[in-house]
Amino acid sequence: MLTCFNKYNQMKNSKKELSYTNSLYLFLEKLYKYNQELWSESYSESLNILAHSYYNIGKKDKAIELQEKALMIIENGDFKNKDRWLESYSRILNNLAYSYLNSEKKDKAIELQEKALMIIENGDFKNKDRCFQLYSRILHNLAYSYLNSEKKDKAIELQEKALMIIKNGYFENKDRWLESYSRSLNELANSYFKNEKIEKAIELQEKALMIIESGYFENKYKWLESYSLILHNLSIFYFSFNKKEKAIELQEKALIIIEDVYLKNKYGWRELYSKISNSLYLLYSNHGKTSEAKSLLEKLQKIQNNN
């Protein structure tokens, strides 16, 4: 069964994702009906994965319906492995909360995330490494919910806590924690920036860039999304700190990286490509580089017309 879930994890941006996850769900549903005690965890996980596939194609209501069903199964299940039950339960709470948040159900989202946080903080996990990864993710997601509910100080407090946990993991196992550490630095930097702590934001974002660069030069495709996004964010921070030339340099670098994959897979990379392109256009315009701005705008319009 692990092989099936691993195959799903390799399907990012694939058109086959929904078809595969639906087949997996139907297969596990039959097994679950045959023996609920044995297949509860795998079935709830398949519901969770199928929900993610629906969410990726914009069917949020369907995703929520499946996640609520997964939550009900996990709450009523009798798992012999307490570690795995706690992990599955807190993860499903966290994922459903994320869906609620993106469907403008902020209070409901926060309620579930706080519950997930309580479970993970009070759980006696044997696999501490996996526990810490889930713990830091829940802290970050709850922080994001607090930010969207104008609870900035509370959000930053959680993000700082998550960063401390992830930092310890990173220095013990850099390969395993590289993505989490760079993302944690990036998210806390964004919160500092929104709270007008620009110098502190730049310091963290520069650190995130240095860390993600090491991964990018080893495996460009794996890390290009994170790398270009951090370049994009740091560019905005530099511009706000009046380092305009440096800001343009980073945004141009981000666009070169993302344009290559966008032209190969327009649907999968459209959102990030548009974000970086528009930011660079504004930087050119605000810095008096009218010819560059005009050239980029024409390029964007040409791409748009060909879609």
Residue 225: pLDDT over 50:
yes
> Does residue 267 lie within any of the structural domains?
no
Which of 48-57, 72-81, 110-119, 121-130 has the lowest average pLDDT? 121-130
| Phi, psi for 250 (deg, rounded to 5) | -70, -40
Nearest Cα to 32, choosing from 47, 51, 20, 15?
47
Q: How many domains does the chain have?
A: 1
Instruction: Identify the band that residue 5 occupies on the pLDDT scale cut at 50, 70 and 90.
Output: very low
Residue 307, pLDDT score: 62
When pLDDT is averaged across residues 78-105 and rounded to a whole number, the result is 81
240 Cβ neighbours under 8 A, 6+ residues apart: 193, 198
Nearest Cα to 283, choosing from 259, 302, 255?
255
When pLDDT is averaged across residues 81-104 and rounded to a whole number, the result is 83
pTM for this entry:
0.75
> Does residue 255 lie within any of the structural domains?
no
SS3 116: helix
> Are 23 and 7 in contact, with CB atoms under 8 Å apart?
no
> Does residue 264 lie within any of the structural domains?
no
When pLDDT is averaged across residues 234-253 and rounded to a whole number, the result is 95
Q: What is the separation, in whole angstroms, between the first and last Cα of the chain?
A: 39
Nearest Cα to 21, choosing from 9, 30, 38, 33?
9
Q: Which CATH number is 48's domain given?
A: 1.25.40.10
Q: How far is CA 285 from CA 53, 70, 288, 294, in A?
A: 39, 49, 5, 9
Longest dimension (CA), the chain: 69
**pLDDT tens-digit series, residues 123-170:** 766 666 677 888 888 999 899 889 888 888 999 999 999 999 999 888
**pLDDT tens-digit series, residues 193-202:** 988 999 999 9
**pLDDT tens-digit series, residues 178-193:** 989 999 999 999 999 9
Instruction: Identify the band that residue 233 occupies on the pLDDT scale cut at 50, 70 and 90.
Output: very high
Sign, CA torsion 189/194/197/202:
positive
Instruction: Identify the band that residue 104 occupies on the pLDDT scale cut at 50, 70 and 90.
Output: confident
Residue 128, pLDDT score: 63
> Does residue 230 lie within any of the structural domains?
no
> Does residue 179 lie within any of the structural domains?
no
> Does residue 72 lie within any of the structural domains?
yes
Helices (H), the chain: 2-9, 17-34, 36-56, 60-76, 82-101, 106-122, 128-148, 152-172, 174-194, 198-216, 220-240, 244-264, 266-286, 290-306
Residue 216: pLDDT over 70:
yes
Domain that holds residue 62: 18-127
Q: Residues 236, 238, 240, 245: what is their CA dihedral angle, to the nearest 10 degrees?
A: -100
Residue 78, pLDDT score: 63
Which of 1-5, 32-36, 157-161 has the lowest average pLDDT? 1-5
Tell me the C-alpha distance between 197 and 199, whole Å: 6
> Does residue 241 lie within any of the structural domains?
no
> Does residue 38 lie within any of the structural domains?
yes
Give the DSSP letter of residue 13. Answer: T
Instruction: Identify the band that residue 6 occupies on the pLDDT scale cut at 50, 70 and 90.
Output: very low
Instruction: Identify the band that residue 10 occupies on the pLDDT scale cut at 50, 70 and 90.
Output: very low
Q: What percent of the chain has pLDDT over 70?
A: 90
237/135: higher pLDDT: 237
Average pLDDT, the chain: 87
When pLDDT is averaged across residues 233-258 and rounded to a whole number, the result is 95
Residue 137, pLDDT score: 87
Residue 58: pLDDT over 90:
no
